[in-house]
Amino acid sequence: MDVTIKHKDVDRFVLDLLSSFDVIAPVARDGRFIFDKINSPSEVSAQYNTTILPPVKWLYPDNEKLLEFNLKDINSMKPVVQANKQVLTFIHPCDINAINIMDEVLAEEPADVNYLARRRASVIIGYECLKPCKEDNILCFDKGYHIAYKGYDLFFTDLGERYYVNVVTDAGMEIVNGYDYFIRAGYEDWLRLLKVREDRKKGFKKSVNGDMEMLSHVLKESYNDEIWAIEGKKCVSCGACNIVCPTCYCFDVADEVCPDMEEGSRHRKLDGCQLRGFCKVATGENFRKSAAERVRHRVFKKEVYLKKRFGKSGCVGCGRCIEHCIAKISIVEIFNHVMGR
């Protein structure tokens, strides 16, 4: 059963959520947007464009603690799995699709129990973007990732003075049942929703020329293309593209010890395949020495390897890696280059 909620009631809704959950929401910061834990409804910016870091960082945080131990007695070591009850609110379809990809990747055995525990403890409220976040440098539409078919409990679409709320899961149902400002959606609301979605379609355009179904195949054929050397020359190997990507999950493991040299903990620190030492082993051998090889690997990982393993592209087309690359390296341009070969 779907419902609607009036714009003016959304603050009350957020306030009510705050009484039972940690609430993660888009927040304006210095003219940009981030996802942050909020304390009051006034902090929320529902009308946002792509955030700097994706919301999935609240499910797969950097420096996540995995283990606590005492150096004097290692029998006391204790696995740490933290999972606060949290709601991720106003999540755009691309970022929901990224979470769906992470769900599959990290649930593959041997599963990542830390991620899965956080994921299970999280309610996801989707939010339909009615126009693309940016004019260009995104490719959500090319990939069909501007629509999310699953991965959320509730999904909000703005109908003007009220939101249409698609209720998908039991957890979502429980939430809307708890509050009387959610009103059962009627036929009129449904027709409005269809109209809004029809109009939305017109705003999106393709960024990559050609049939996206062929992209992974075309890339494979372009393994030795000159594009990798060209982009590799520009890349400064800063790893920013990895940090901002909602489907990058590579990590390193490192220990920290308190100054008393007794209590310690083990952490997972996010790593990036574009960094120079990512494939370097102790004997000094580096298995991806050049930036060209590393740029190619990043693109292939998303578009060829993940696609082969999970049947869908690992890039949701959010455009963050393009926006944050100081060398102006663009996967849209790379895709257009190989498709135009």
Partner 1 sequence: MGEETQKSNLVPMAATIVGIRQMTDKEKLFTVRLDNGNGFKHRPCQFVLISMFGIGEAPISISSPPVNSGNTFELCIRSIGNLTGAIHRSSVNDRIGIRGPYGNGFPLEKIEGKDILIIAGGLGLAPIRSLIKHVLNERGRYGRLILLIGAKRPEDILFKEEIAMWEEDHSIEMHVSVDIAAPSWKNHVGVITGLFKYITIDPLNTIAAVVGPPVMYRFVVKELLAKKMFEGNIFLDMERRMRCGIGKCGHCQINGIYLCQNGPVLSYLEARKLQEAL
Is residue 159 a contact residue for partner 1 (CB under 8 A)? no
- Cis peptide upstream of residue 110 (ω within 30 degrees of 0): yes
Let me know how long the chain is. 341
Q: Indicate the residue among 110 and 311 with the shorter CB distance to partner 1.
A: 110
Is residue 148 a contact residue for ligand SF4 (CB under 6 A)? no
Q: Indicate the residue among 237 and 265 with the shorter CB distance to ligand SF4.
A: 237
Q: Classify the phi-psi angles of 44: left when phi > 0, otherwise alpha if psi is within -120 to 50, otherwise beta.
A: beta
Binding marks (x or -) toward ligand SF4, 264..303, rule CB under 6 A?
A: ----------x--------------------x------x-
- In angstroms, what CA-CA distances link 33 with 36, 138, 240, 259, 323? 9, 17, 17, 37, 13
Count Cβ atoms within 10 A of the Cβ of residue 73 and give its class: 0-12 exposed, 13-18 middle, 19 or more buried.
exposed
Is residue 133 a contact residue for ligand SF4 (CB under 6 A)? no
Helix or strand or coil: residue 100?
A: helix
Which residue, 128, 183, 119, is CA-closest to 154? 128
Binding marks (x or -) toward partner 1, 265..304, rule CB under 8 A?
A: -x-x--x-x----xxxxxx-x-xx----x---x--xx--x
Binding marks (x or -) toward partner 1, 104..123, rule CB under 8 A?
A: -xx-x-xxxxx--x---x--
Helix or strand or coil: residue 63?
A: coil
Helix or strand or coil: residue 75?
A: strand
Residues that bind ligand SF4 (CB under 6 A): 235-241, 244-247, 274, 295, 302, 315-321, 324-327, 329, 331
Residues that bind partner 1 (CB under 8 A): 66-67, 69, 71, 74-75, 77, 79-85, 105-106, 108, 110-114, 117, 121, 223, 249-255, 257, 261, 264, 266, 268, 271, 273, 278-283, 285, 287-288, 293, 297, 300-301, 304-305, 308-309
